Chain A
Amino acid sequence: MRTYLLAGLSAAILAVSSVGVAAQTKLNRNEIINSLQGAQQEVDLTADQMQKAAIENIRKYPGANSPHDMPLSAKLATLRQFNVEITFDFDSARIRPESYETVGVIADALHTPYLQGQTFVIVGHTDAKGPRQYNLDLSIKRAQAVREALVTTFQVPAQYLFAVGLGEEQLRDPSKPDAAINRRVQLINLGYK
């Protein structure tokens, strides 16, 4: 009987991990918490500054692609952060049902005492296909859609949560500007305010 139980358990674990490989990588709450907690007490950066930097980057260096990273990118790289994949309808900010769980995992993480009281920015990113201004606008709408879902349906305190869209101004892999890896939603901890 004991052996049966053990066998049952290991089968269940196998099943879970194979699903994880097949679908999107299975996200877990503690992974997000571990990556995001332990922010510096005071981060000298606001969501508004991030948004302005992206807009400014397009204005100053127009063209199909940005010639270089945004001025803030070095600073952003030093902050506690985590990337998730959320799928939206094509050309839309509507979150698809297969990504509801991911939004729920973020809600679970943000509600815990480990992350309570710190300020977070939800940052939307696109790949480099299409016009930069269009991508910027879409990424802003998508980041706002994620924030809205979190603060209403899941009641994450609104005063600690901001939405920013960086469009294609901050590619994850600049060597492959059109690759899927660039399409992501990033959570960044801006610390205690």
Chain B
Amino acid sequence: MRQLIFAIMAFAMLASAPAVAQTVGFAEAIKMLGASCGKDIETYCKSASLANNGITNCLEENKAKVSAQCNADRVTVLSLIRERLAAQASVAKICSRDSAQYCKGVKEGAGHILRCLLKAKPSVSAKCNTAIDMAGYR
């Protein structure tokens, strides 16, 4: 019985920690595009480039011909990237009070305040620490 409780606790920790604390990184998101759409990209998007969402745009234009898996995942990939960018963009606002309190006098811009907030983790509010985790900043 004790062993079972241990197992359940371990499982709960494994399962809950990443779900609460993180969005998915750019690497993990775009890797899905290469894996699920690699063949379709080589067939229909031979002249499209990764820049300016060129590949996802091309797949969208060819959605009638692209595999079902790829059609599902190309949409997911775009939203994962969007979520991560949004998470990063929201940190400054969510952490504004912490920045004022713990990073007073730190130069703005060039990531100085974020580096200060990372160092001040034990004092920083839970809300701000979570925002930093969600942004993939740690």
A residues whose Cβ falls under 8 Å from a Cβ of B: 1-2, 4-5, 29, 93-95, 97-105, 107-108, 111-118, 145, 148-149, 152-155, 192
4 tightest A-B CB contacts, nearest first: A117-B110, A116-B111, A104-B27, A113-B114
Given known contacts A97-B41, A145-B49, is B137 in contact with A113 (CB within 8 Å)? yes
For the side of the interface on B, what is the size category?
35 or more
- With the chains together, A116 CA to B127 CA distance in Å? 22
- With the chains together, A26 CA to B112 CA distance in Å? 30
Chain B residues numbered 83-138 whose CB sits less than 8 Å from any CB in chain A: 85, 88, 109-112, 114-115, 117-118, 135-137
Secondary structure class of chain A's binding surface, majority of residues:
helix
Is B17 an interface residue when CB atoms closer than 8 A count as contact?
no
- With the chains together, A116 CA to B111 CA distance in Å? 5
Among B50, B109, B135, the residue within 8 A (CB) of A103 is B50
Asked if A1 contacts B85 (CB within 8 A), the reply is no
**Minimum C-beta distance from B9 to chain A (A):** 10
Is B81 an interface residue when CB atoms closer than 8 A count as contact?
yes
What A residues does B117 contact at CB under 8 A?
113
